[in-house]
Amino acid sequence: MASTVVNPGLEGIVVGETVLSNVEGEAGRLTYRGYDIHDLAENASFEEVAHLLLFGQLPAHQELIDFNARLAARRALPSGLLAIMHAIPRDAWPMDVLRTGVSAVAHFVPHRPDGAHETSVDTAIDLIAKFPTIVAAWDRIRRGLEPIAPDPKLATAANFLYMRTGELPIPEAEKALDTYLVLLADHSYNASTFSARVTASTGADIYSAITSAVATLAGDLHGGAPSKVMTMLEEIGLPEKAEPYVRDLLDRHEKIMGMGHREYKIRDPRAQQLERMAKNLTEKSHTKWYLIARALEDASDKVLQEKKPGKRIYANVEFYTAPTLSSLGIPSDEFTCMFACGRIAGWSAHVLEQFAHNRLIRPQATYVGPEVHPYEPIAGRHAQTNGTANGHSAGTVSP
Amino acid sequence: MASTVVNPGLEGIVVGETVLSNVEGEAGRLTYRGYDIHDLAENASFEEVAHLLLFGQLPAHQELIDFNARLAARRALPSGLLAIMHAIPRDAWPMDVLRTGVSAVAHFVPHRPDGAHETSVDTAIDLIAKFPTIVAAWDRIRRGLEPIAPDPKLATAANFLYMRTGELPIPEAEKALDTYLVLLADHSYNASTFSARVTASTGADIYSAITSAVATLAGDLHGGAPSKVMTMLEEIGLPEKAEPYVRDLLDRHEKIMGMGHREYKIRDPRAQQLERMAKNLTEKSHTKWYLIARALEDASDKVLQEKKPGKRIYANVEFYTAPTLSSLGIPSDEFTCMFACGRIAGWSAHVLEQFAHNRLIRPQATYVGPEVHPYEPIAGRHAQTNGTANGHSAGTVSP
Within 8 A of A382 by CB-CB distance, chain B residues are: 60
- B255 near A CB under 8 A: no
Q: Which of A253-267, A300-314, B93-107, B203-217 is the least confident region?
A: A253-267
Within 8 A of A227 by CB-CB distance, chain B residues are: none
Distance from CA of B324 to the nearest CA of A (A): 24
Inter-chain residue contact A8 with B393, CB threshold 8 Å: no
Pair A212, A230 in one domain: no
Within 8 A of A134 by CB-CB distance, chain B residues are: none
Amino acid B385: pLDDT? 66
- B373 near A CB under 8 A: yes
- CATH code of the domain in which B321 resides: 1.10.230.10
Candidate from B54, B117, B390 with C-beta closest to A56: B390
Residue closest to B318 by CA, chosen among B372, B358, B278: B278
Amino acid B386: pLDDT? 55
Mean pLDDT of chain A: 91
| Residue A391's pLDDT band (cuts 50, 70, 90) | very low
Inter-chain residue contact B33 with A394, CB threshold 8 Å: yes
Inter-chain residue contact B7 with A14, CB threshold 8 Å: yes
Pair A156, A183 in one domain: yes
Pair B211, B247 in one domain: no
* A60 within a domain of the structure (yes/no): yes
Inter-chain residue contact A384 with B357, CB threshold 8 Å: no
Angle at B386 between CA B384 and CA B389, to 5 degrees: 80
3-state secondary structure of A29: strand
* A395 within a domain of the structure (yes/no): no
Distance from CA of A287 to the nearest CA of B (A): 30
Q: What digits encode the pLDDT tens for the residues B338-361?
A: 999 999 999 999 999 999 999 999
Within 8 A of A79 by CB-CB distance, chain B residues are: none
Nearest CA in chain A to B122: A389
- Quick check: A127 and A101 in contact, CB under 8 A? no
Candidate from B10, B80, B393 with C-beta closest to A89: B80
- A370 near B CB under 8 A: yes
The neighbour count for residue A66, using CB atoms within 10 Å, is 15
- Give bridge partners of residue B24 from the DSSP assignment: B29
Amino acid A386: pLDDT? 55
Within 8 A of B368 by CB-CB distance, chain A residues are: 17-19
Residue closest to B156 by CA, chosen among B42, B36, B44: B44
Amino acid B384: pLDDT? 83
- Give bridge partners of residue B110 from the DSSP assignment: none
Pair B257, B272 in one domain: yes
Pair A196, A239 in one domain: no
Inter-chain residue contact B393 with A56, CB threshold 8 Å: yes
Is a pLDDT exceeding 50 seen at residue A397? no
Distance from CA of B163 to the nearest CA of A (A): 23
- Quick check: B27 and B47 in contact, CB under 8 A? no
Nearest CA in chain A to B377: A43
Burial of B134 (0-12, 13-18, 19+ CB in 10 A): buried
The catalytic position among B318, B334, B350, B353 is B318
Nearest CA in chain A to B41: A375
Is a pLDDT exceeding 50 seen at residue A205? yes
> What is the total residue count of chain B?
399
A positions 122-141 inside 8 Å of B (CB): 124
Is a pLDDT exceeding 60 seen at residue A388? no
- A96 near B CB under 8 A: yes
State the Cα–Cα distance between residues A157 and A143, nearest whole angstrom: 21
3-state SS, A115-127, equals: CCHHHHHHHHHHH
Residue closest to B323 by CA, chosen among B368, B366, B287: B287
HSE (side-chain half, CA atoms, 13 Å) at B162: 14
Nearest CA in chain B to A12: B2
- B167 near A CB under 8 A: no
Within 8 A of A20 by CB-CB distance, chain B residues are: 369, 391
For residue A18, the 8-state DSSP code is E
Instruction: Give the full edge-to-edge strand order of the sheet including B29-32.
Output: B21-24, B29-32, B35-36
Give the helix/strand (H/E) hosting A367.
strand A364-367
- Quick check: A14 and B8 in contact, CB under 8 A? no
Pair B308, B170 in one domain: no
Is a pLDDT exceeding 50 seen at residue A394? no
- CATH code of the domain in which A74 resides: 1.10.580.10
Amino acid B223: pLDDT? 87
Give the helix/strand (H/E) hosting A343.
helix A335-356
HSE (side-chain half, CA atoms, 13 Å) at B331: 14
Inter-chain residue contact A360 with B5, CB threshold 8 Å: no
Pair A200, A168 in one domain: yes
For residue A379, the 8-state DSSP code is G
Residue closest to B260 by CA, chosen among B7, B28, B9: B28
**What type of residue sits at position B139?**
D
State the Cα–Cα distance between residues A340 and A133, nearest whole angstrom: 12
Residue closest to A372 by CA, chosen among B182, B316, B38: B38
* A370 within a domain of the structure (yes/no): no
| Burial letters A160-195, b for 16+ CB under 10 A, else e | bbbbbeeeebeebbbbbbbbbbbbbbbbbbbbbbbb
- A119 near B CB under 8 A: no
Amino acid B387: pLDDT? 47
**Dihedral in degrees, nearest 10, Cα atoms B261, B267, B273, B279:** 100
Residue B174's domain comprises 21-222+339-356
Within 8 A of B10 by CB-CB distance, chain A residues are: 10, 13, 15, 361-364
Inter-chain residue contact B104 with A100, CB threshold 8 Å: yes
* A374 within a domain of the structure (yes/no): no
Candidate from A12, A99, A200 with C-beta closest to B2: A12
> What is the total residue count of chain A?
399
Candidate from A29, A83, A396 with C-beta closest to B87: A83
Candidate from B13, B48, B121 with C-beta closest to A13: B13
State the Cα–Cα distance between residues B155 and B125, nearest whole angstrom: 14
Judge whether B318 counts as a catalytic residue. Answer: yes
Q: What digits encode the pLDDT tens for the residues A70-125?
A: 999 999 999 999 999 999 999 999 999 999 999 999 999 987 878 889 999 999 99
Nearest CA in chain B to A16: B365
How are beta strands A35-36 and A29-32 bridged, if at all?
A: antiparallel
State the Cα–Cα distance between residues B268 and B27, nearest whole angstrom: 10
Amino acid A396: pLDDT? 34
The neighbour count for residue A61, using CB atoms within 10 Å, is 11
pTM of the model: 0.94
Inter-chain residue contact B367 with A17, CB threshold 8 Å: yes
Task: Provide the percentage of residues in chain A whose pLDDT is more than 70.
Answer: 95
For residue A16, the 8-state DSSP code is E
Mean pLDDT to the nearest integer, A25-50: 96
- Quick check: B375 and B249 in contact, CB under 8 A? no
Pair B216, B315 in one domain: no
* A301 within a domain of the structure (yes/no): yes
Query: pLDDT under 70 in chain B at which residues?
Result: 1-3, 385-399
3-state SS, chain B, equals: CCCCCECHHHCCCEEEEECCEEEECCCCEEEECCEEHHHHHHHCCHHHHHHHHHHCCCCCHHHHHHHHHHHHHHCCCCHHHHHHHHCCCCCCCHHHHHHHHHHHHHHHCCCCCCCCHHHHHHHHHHHHHHHHHHHHHHHHHCCCCCCCCCCCCCCHHHHHHHHHHCCCCCHHHHHHHHHHHHHHCCCCCCHHHHHHHHHHHCCCCHHHHHHHHHHHHCCCCCCCHHHHHHHHHHHHCCHHHHHHHHHHHHHCCCCCCCECCCCCCCCCHHHHHHHHHHHHHHHHHCCCHHHHHHHHHHHHHHHHHHHCCCCCCCECHHHHHHHHHHHCCCCHHHHHHHHHHHHHHHHHHHHHHHHHCCCCCCCEEEECCCCCCCCCCHHHCCCCCCCCCCCCCCCCCCC
Pair A35, A163 in one domain: yes
Question: Long-range contacts for B381-385 (Cβ within 8 Å, ≥24 apart)?
Answer: B381/A57, B381/A58, B381/A59, B381/A60, B381/A61, B382/A60, B383/A59, B383/A60, B383/A62, B383/A63, B384/A55, B384/A56, B384/A57, B384/A63
For testing contact with chain A, the best of B103, B109, B121, B333 (most A CBs within 10 A): B103
* A313 within a domain of the structure (yes/no): yes
State the Cα–Cα distance between residues B158 and B175, nearest whole angstrom: 8
Amino acid A387: pLDDT? 46
> Cα Rg for chain B, rounded, in angstroms?
23
3-state secondary structure of A19: coil
Within 8 A of B33 by CB-CB distance, chain A residues are: 369-370, 394-395
Amino acid A2: pLDDT? 44
Residue closest to A283 by CA, chosen among A299, A294, A296: A294
Amino acid B3: pLDDT? 56
Within 8 A of B375 by CB-CB distance, chain A residues are: 35-36, 39-40, 43-44
Nearest CA in chain A to B125: A389
* B334 within a domain of the structure (yes/no): no
Burial of B85 (0-12, 13-18, 19+ CB in 10 A): buried
State the Cα–Cα distance between residues B344 and B105, nearest whole angstrom: 14
State the Cα–Cα distance between residues B95 and B106, nearest whole angstrom: 18
Pair A253, A138 in one domain: no
Pair B80, B215 in one domain: yes
- B392 near A CB under 8 A: yes
**What type of residue sits at position A87?**
A
Residue closest to B254 by CA, chosen among B303, B188, B290, B187: B303
State the Cα–Cα distance between residues A180 and A234, nearest whole angstrom: 21
Check residues A330 and A287 and name the one with the higher pLDDT: A330
Amino acid A336: pLDDT? 97
For testing contact with chain B, the best of A195, A261, A347 (most B CBs within 10 A): A195
- Quick check: B297 and B245 in contact, CB under 8 A? no
For testing contact with chain A, the best of B20, B96, B117, B265 (most A CBs within 10 A): B96
HSE (side-chain half, CA atoms, 13 Å) at A349: 30
| Burial letters A236-262, b for 16+ CB under 10 A, else e | beebeebbebbeebbeeeeebbbbbbe
- Helix A317-327 and helix A171-184: axis angle, to 10°? 150
Distance from CA of B249 to the nearest CA of A (A): 21
Within 8 A of B22 by CB-CB distance, chain A residues are: 367, 369
Distance from CA of B240 to the nearest CA of A (A): 32
Pair B161, B272 in one domain: no
Distance from CA of A157 to the nearest CA of B (A): 20
Give catalytic residue positions of A: 261, 318
Is a pLDDT exceeding 70 seen at residue A385? no
Angle at B210 between CA B204 and CA B215, to 5 degrees: 110
Domain total of chain A: 2
Within 8 A of B80 by CB-CB distance, chain A residues are: 87-89
State the Cα–Cα distance between residues B138 and B147, nearest whole angstrom: 8
The neighbour count for residue A90, using CB atoms within 10 Å, is 11
The neighbour count for residue B386, using CB atoms within 10 Å, is 8
* B389 within a domain of the structure (yes/no): no
Provide the number of CB pairs (under 8 Å) joining chain A to chain B: 512
